Chains A and B, each alone.
Chain A
Amino acid sequence: MTLLEINALTLRIGAAEILHDVSLAVEAGRITAVIGESGSGKSMTAYCVNQLLPRGAVAGGQVVFDGQDMLVLDEPALCQIRGRDIGMVFQEPLSALNPVQTIGAQVAETVLIHRAAKKPEAMRIARETLNRVGLPEGEFPLNRYPHELSGGQRQRVVIAMAIALRPKLLIADEPTTALDVTTQAQIMALLKRLVVEDGMGLLLISHDLGVVAGVADHIVIMQTGRVVEQGATADIFKHMQHPYTKALFKASSHVPERAARPADTPILEVRDLIRDYTLPRTSLLGAAPKFRAVSGVSFTLSKGESLGLVGESGCGKSTLTRAILGLEAIQGGSISINGVAVTAGHAVPRALRRNMQVVFQDPYGSFNPRHKVSRLVAEPFHLLDDPPKGAARQAAITHALEAVGMQAADSDKYIHEFSGGQRQRIAIARALIIKPELIILDEAVSALDVSIRAQILDLLAELQSRLGLSYLFISHDLGVVRAITDRVLVMKAGQIVENGKTEDIFNNPTHPYTQALLAAAPKLEEMIK
């Protein structure tokens, strides 16, 4: 018998129809993955299963779990099923955990709510479950609090809460989106193992085709509230039918056309760079401890070159970026721009700052919501000694906007009138306006949906060949880095552990950390072949 069967599910919240005629199934011991971009209704489908819907949501159709239609059950009956028969894992492990309760109490709670055991027994089950998800007793006693754990460890706690009573179905809503590549792979492997061990069905929600392709038995592709295609994983990869699926696949593995002509003259040279942070004092006497975020980093970026900087969160890549941009003082080494060196204890002069601009990750946080686009785009003019005024200024703004595919008329609008992709184009226009030679792209495409991401990557490639720009491309996404860079730096714990041509590193990684990174990264191309 099928464990979960969703038939012709519809969902409306107020006047908006969120889901139309969604049908899919999950078998016991199998993984069904639901893939879609933001707004596709994939998460809402998941919440329909255990009926944790927002206020005012009305569902129609059938959600048959274990022979019962969840849509007709009353609240007390649903409370009985939630946690006991259906577990759930969420995207943000930190906010999914109660900050003021110990991890032991939170895992044991699942057991206690369903009166499956008394307190001491519940604590024993909690201990056992935490051991099962890879949080051994010695390092992770039950009285730890969530804030004392790392992102991956927190997600393991969330999983432990979900599987403590060995439910029949586990729903995982983007369980690895907030995590680093290597952690992501470990969590995926853990989920897969639990499915096999417990014979549990898994409904896996994700926006990332690559992440789920390796584990899912069955794939469901959703777009704007509808299922556009579904089937066994192998079949889907072999015979894609729907244009949206094809576009999604193509965008996920998109490689922009690049005509890279790196010159030999360096634009940016970093030598033995050191960046220390002072930590809060731990004792009243004695010096405050220091944390070395960047430790003796050296590299060169040539004119017209695109250099990737890869590493996981906390590796020091953001700190390095800020130091290069002159936003933070350095404690040792030097940064040279066009041959002019800046050493520790000196500020980056304006004349040098003019040569570089930056594009940030979050298209929503990158702009002051109170200013018009013209003012936002023109902000870097502050770096010029003699910025253009009046008509010349307007012409420069128009030129920059048109270079990124926007229009002159957009300069009179506020930023909230644009979509995420358009905002990222405007961010690029802002970076281009003073014609810098170097643009630092700090996770610039990470927050975008795959189809938009492909467009922005094309734009970046086009701008580079047309204007001869140099890029420092910082990303955690190895696929994107491979597509757009000539050379790659791999950073770990404040140091560059590997440095070489992109293709060489991806084909023959020498450092164990690079090897681990690449092994963990989802490999979509191989799946398709």
Chain B
Amino acid sequence: MKKAFKMPGFAIGFTMATVFVLAAFLSFFWTPYAVDGVDIANKLLAPSGTNWFGTDHLGRDIFSMVMVGARTSIAVAIVAVGIGVLLGVPLGLAAAARQGSLLDEVIMRGNDLIFAFPALLIAILITAVFGASAVNAIIAIGIFNIPVFARISRGAALSLWTRDFVLAARVAGKGRVRISFEHILPNITNLLIVQGTIQFSLGILAEAALSYIGLGAQIPTPSWGRMLADSQTMVSFAPHLAIFPGMAIIFTVLGLNLMGDALRDLFDPKQRRDRQ
């Protein structure tokens, strides 16, 4: 971890992402203004010393709403990554442990099938069936994450299965499940952390998009995507309504991606040639 902080990309990205995680936490206890307080007298104020990001058409403080919106974004993205990891990684490991078997074939074809449905189409289907909500957005993005994690775990696990240390474990009488958890999983965690960071940032983008088109978070759940949707008709005369939530998305995603890239460089075996 110390090594990671020596990389400027990681340090900057980590700081950027942390700012938003902290803001989300803080919003549970304190925001500059109450986000449900309608104050028509102060509507559409430009950014100023009292309202840093200005106010919206109902006079709510945008800075406070961005803080609370971070909660939704982070929650949706984390749970969606969790779904992807918890279901995708075991599937990928199982497929690799039985390479070429019927199980492998079924898992991989299932993956291909889900890949044919972009997250948005999954969200459309789910919303058409159950109606729009933040939970449905989580499920849609989560389902999309499953094949992503299944695929990279399988690929990495397959190359590990050919390594001699796995053979040695088999000679020691260990079964495939045990080897998967004892030898394979610890050696793919780096890869999973990198992919997790990237899927986390993609999740934030996807949540914003889904909420923006009305398939995600609904009133009264605050969300960056919904703030953008609400601002749509007013952007031409009050651009701050769209600019600040948008910048929040960019800032968080950028931070996470910088972290992911730095970690990838750090973990990349090509960078650490201890063999030569």
Contacts and interface: CB of A to CB of B under 8 A. Distances in A.
Tell whether A and B belong to one assembly: yes
B2 interface: no
Nearest to B173: A383
B172 A379 contact: yes
Of A325, A327, A368, chain B has the most CB atoms within 10 Å of the CB of: A368
B171 interface: yes
Given A361-B164, A364-B275, A367-B165, A327 B171 contact: yes
Interface in A357-403: 357-358, 360-362, 364-370, 379-383
A290 interface: no
A416 interface: yes
A183 B164 CA distance: 26
Given A360-B167, A365-B164, A370 B187 contact: yes
Interface string B200-212: 0000000000000
A365 B173 CA distance: 19
Contacts of A357: 171
B195 to A, nearest CB: 18
A382 B168 CA distance: 12
A365 B160 CA distance: 10
Interface string A328-363: 000000000000000000000010010011101110
A275 B93 CA distance: 27
Interface in B237-276: 274-275
Nearest to A278: B100
A353 B183 contact: no
B253 to A, nearest CB: 31
B168 A360 contact: yes
Contacts of A427: 168
Given A360-B164, A361-B164, A368 B171 contact: no
B133 to A, nearest CB: 41
Contacts of B37: none
B220 interface: no
Interface in B145-165: 163-165
A379 B165 CA distance: 10
Contact of B171 (A353, A361, A362): A353
Nearest to A349: B173
A430 interface: yes
Contacts of B49: none
Interface residues of B, number: 16
A327 B167 contact: yes
B98 interface: no
Contact of A358 (B163, B171, B173, B183): B171
A355 to B, nearest CB: 12
Contacts of A364: 275
A374 to B, nearest CB: 15
Given A364-B275, A368-B187, A369-B187, A382 B172 contact: yes
Nearest to A384: B173
B224 to A, nearest CB: 39
Contact of B172 (A362, A365, A383): A383
Contact of A350 (B169, B173, B275): B173
A383 B165 CA distance: 16
A118 to B, nearest CB: 41
A358 B174 contact: no
B170 interface: yes
Contacts of B275: 364
Nearest to B166: A368
Contacts of A381: 172
A360 B171 CA distance: 11
B168 A416 contact: no
A396 to B, nearest CB: 14
B165 A365 contact: yes
A252 B156 CA distance: 38
B227 to A, nearest CB: 44
A361 B167 CA distance: 12
Given A368-B183, A416-B274, A380 B167 contact: no
Contacts of A370: 186-187
Contacts of A360: 164, 167-168
Interface in B5-43: none
A366 B274 contact: no
A368 B164 contact: no
A380 B186 contact: no
A325 B173 contact: no
A381 B168 CA distance: 12
Interface in B167-225: 167-174, 183, 186-187
Interface string A430-467: 10000000000000000000000000000000000000
A380 B165 contact: no
A364 B163 CA distance: 10
A367 B168 CA distance: 8
B173 A382 contact: yes
A353 B168 contact: no
Contacts of B274: 416
B164 A380 contact: no
Contacts of A350: 173
A370 B188 CA distance: 11
A366 B274 CA distance: 15
Contacts of B172: 379-383
A356 B168 CA distance: 12
B163 A353 contact: no
B271 to A, nearest CB: 14
Contacts of B169: 368, 379
B186 A368 contact: yes
Contact of B164 (A325, A366, A382): A366
A11 to B, nearest CB: 16
Given A370-B186, A416-B274, A365 B170 contact: no
A164 to B, nearest CB: 31
A292 B168 CA distance: 25
B167 A382 contact: no
A404 to B, nearest CB: 16
Contacts of B187: 368-370
A356 B172 CA distance: 10
A382 B275 CA distance: 30
A383 to B, nearest CB: 5
B174 A382 contact: yes
A224 to B, nearest CB: 15
A350 B173 CA distance: 7
Contacts of B167: 327, 358, 360
Contact of B168 (A361, A369, A430): A430
Contacts of A353: 171, 173
27 contacts: A325-B170, A325-B171, A353-B171, A353-B173, A358-B167, A358-B171, A360-B164, A360-B168, A362-B164, A364-B275, A365-B163, A365-B164, A366-B165, A366-B168, A367-B165, A367-B168, A368-B183, A368-B186, A368-B187, A370-B186, A379-B168, A380-B171, A380-B172, A381-B172, A382-B172, A427-B168, A430-B168
Given A368-B187, A379-B172, A383-B173, 6 more contacts: A325-B171, A353-B171, A366-B165, A370-B187, A381-B172, A430-B168
Interface of B: 163-165, 167-174, 183, 186-187, 274-275
Q: Which 8 A-B pairs have the closest CB atoms?
A: A360-B164, A366-B164, A380-B172, A365-B164, A383-B173, A370-B186, A379-B172, A382-B172
